[in-house]
Structures are given as C-alpha cells and as structure tokens.
Amino acid sequence: VQLVESGGGLVQPGGSLRLSCIGSGSFSGYVMGWYREAHGKQRELVATVTVGGSTQYVDSVKGRFTISRDNARNTVHLQMNRLKPEDTAVYYCNSDGAYFLWGQGTQVTVSS
C-alpha cells in the first residue's frame, strides 16, 4: 500500500488544518496513525485509530487533534485545531507499527 498525505501548510498559532491520507490499497485491517517529525527530532506517533474507530493521542495533542478514518475510501484524516508552533513538523500517516512504505509526508508550519 502506498500512502499519500496532503493538507499541510502555513498557519498562524491558534489556527486549524485538516490533513488527509489516502492509500493505494486497503488498510482496513490495520490500526492507522499519524506521525510527525520535527526538525532534528525523532519521528513520533501522535494519534491512532482502530478499525472500529477507537482513538488514542499523545498528551501534547489531546483535546486539539482528532483522527478519523474511512475504510471504504482508504483514507485517514487528522483534524488539527488550536495549533501551536511546537506542532510544526512533517506529518505522515502509516499503520501503527509502520508496516507500509512511508509517503512523502505533508509539511505543517505554525508561525506568526
């Protein structure tokens, strides 16, 4: 399955973005997640969603980010609200455990 992320951009602090990820094949059997990699830091998993729709988040994004999926369309989304400068990173989607090839990611920059 190849993954293609989109929806990133430049946004002011407090703003919102909605990221999308589409797979070339089905990932309906996998827990899916959004990862991010900030400059000079390791890639981290920030949100996951199970096949049934249960979600988990790292503390730094709880209450601000919402992950969702559409199994029929092989898509995963990340709604990001109340963005902070520390959310600046390249965002990637993949399964929990990163079983698929990484896509190119989408850059999110939060700056005034």
Give per-residue pLDDT as tens, 71-102. Answer: 999 999 999 999 999 999 999 999 999 999 99
Confidence band for 28, pLDDT divided at 50, 70 and 90: confident
Per-residue confidence (pLDDT) for residue 86, from 0 to 100 = 97
Our CA angle for 47, 48, 53, nearest 5°, is 130
Confidence band for 27, pLDDT divided at 50, 70 and 90: confident
In this structure, are strands 32-37 and 44-49 parallel, antiparallel, or unpaired?
Answer: antiparallel
Give the CA count within 13 Å in the CB-facing half-sphere of 105. Answer: 15
In whole angstroms, give the CA distance from residue 57 to residue 6: 20
In whole angstroms, give the CA distance from residue 103 to residue 100: 9
Instruction: Work out the mean pLDDT of the chain and round it to a whole number.
Output: 96
Q: pLDDT > 70: what percent of the chain?
A: 100
Per-residue confidence (pLDDT) for residue 1, from 0 to 100 = 85
